[in-house]
Structure 1
Amino acid sequence: MPYFETADGTRLAYEDYGTGKPIVFVASWALGADMWEYQVPFFVEQGYRCVLLDRRGHGRSDRPSGGYDIDTRADDLATLVEHLDLREITLVGHSAGGGEVARYLVRHGEERVSRVAFVSAVLPFLKRTDDNPQGAPEMLCEAVIARFRKNRPKWFAQRAQGFYATHLGNDASPALVDLTLRRCLDTAPWATIEVWRSTFHADHREGLRAITVPTLVVHGTADQSAIVEMTGRRTAQLVPGCVYKEYPTGGHGLFATHSEQLNNDILDLVKG
Structure 2
Amino acid sequence: MSYIKAGQDANGQDIKLHYTDQGQGAPVVLIHGWPQSHEAWTYQLGELPKHGLRVVAYTRRGFGNSSKPFEGYDYDTLADDLKAVLDTLDLQNVTLVGFSMGGGEVARYMSRHGGARVAKVVFVSAVTPYLLKTDDNPDGVDKSTFDDIQKNIAKDRFDFLQTFGKQFYGEGPLSNPVSKGVLDWSFGMASLGSHQATVACGHAFAETDFRRDLEGIQVPALVIHGEDDKTVPIKNSGDRMSQHLQHATYITYDGAPHGLFITEKDKLNRDLIEFATGGTVRSGENS
Unaligned runs of 5+ in 2: 9-13, 279-287
Partner Cα separation in structure 2 for residue 41 and residue 197 of structure 1: 32
Between 27-36 and 180-189, report the one with greater CA deviation: 180-189
Partner Cα separation in structure 2 for residue 11 and residue 156 of structure 1: 25
Partner Cα separation in structure 2 for residue 13 and residue 85 of structure 1: 17
Does residue 145 in structure 1 map to residue 150 in structure 2? Answer: yes
How large is the RMSD of aligned CA atoms in angstroms?
1.4
Question: What CA deviation, in whole Å up to 9, does each residue of 1:123-162 have, x standing for no partner?
Answer: 1111222110112333432332121010112222223222
Q: Which amino acid in structure 2 is aligned with residue 147 of structure 1?
A: N
Identify the match of residue 159 of structure 2 among 132, 140, 154: 154
Q: CA deviation at 1:170?
A: 6.1
Q: Which amino acid in structure 2 is aligned with residue 215 of structure 1?
A: A
Normalised to the residue count of structure 1, the TM-score between the two structures is 0.96
Number of positions where the alignment pairs a residue of Structure 1 with one of Structure 2: 272
In structure 1, the residue corresponding to 2:212 is in which secondary structure?
helix
Aligned to 2:131: 126
Q: Which amino acid in structure 1 is aligned with residue 3 of structure 2?
A: Y
Question: What CA deviation, in whole Å up to 9, does each residue of 1:206-241 have, x standing for no partner?
Answer: 111221111110001111110110011111332121
In structure 2, the residue corresponding to 1:62 is in which secondary structure?
coil
Identify the match of residue 188 of structure 1 among 194, 202, 205: 194
Distance 1:190 1:178, change over 3 A: same
Aligned to 2:77: 72
Partner Cα separation in structure 2 for residue 131 and residue 114 of structure 1: 32
Does residue 233 in structure 1 map to residue 242 in structure 2? Answer: no
Unaligned runs of 5+ in 1: none
% identity of equivalent residues: 37
Question: What CA deviation, in whole Å up to 9, does each residue of 1:181-229 have, x standing for no partner?
Answer: 1211121111000001011111001111221111110001111110110
Aligned to 2:3: 3
Distance 1:48 1:170, change over 3 A: farther
Partner Cα separation in structure 1 for residue 5 and residue 224 of structure 2: 32
Aligned to 1:173: 179
Does residue 264 in structure 1 map to residue 270 in structure 2? Answer: yes
Partner Cα separation in structure 1 for residue 71 and residue 116 of structure 2: 28
**CA contact 1:129–1:135 (8 Å) conserved in 2:** yes
Alignment of 1:32-71 (within 5 A): 32-71=37-76
Question: What CA deviation, in whole Å up to 9, does each residue of 1:30-66 have, x standing for no partner?
Answer: 1111001100121111111011111101111111010
Partner Cα separation in structure 1 for residue 88 and residue 166 of structure 2: 38
**CA contact 2:168–2:258 (8 Å) conserved in 1:** yes
Partner Cα separation in structure 2 for residue 106 and residue 6 of structure 1: 19
Q: Which amino acid in structure 2 is aligned with residue 201 of structure 1?
A: E
**CA contact 1:165–1:249 (8 Å) conserved in 2:** no
Partner Cα separation in structure 2 for residue 182 and residue 4 of structure 1: 23
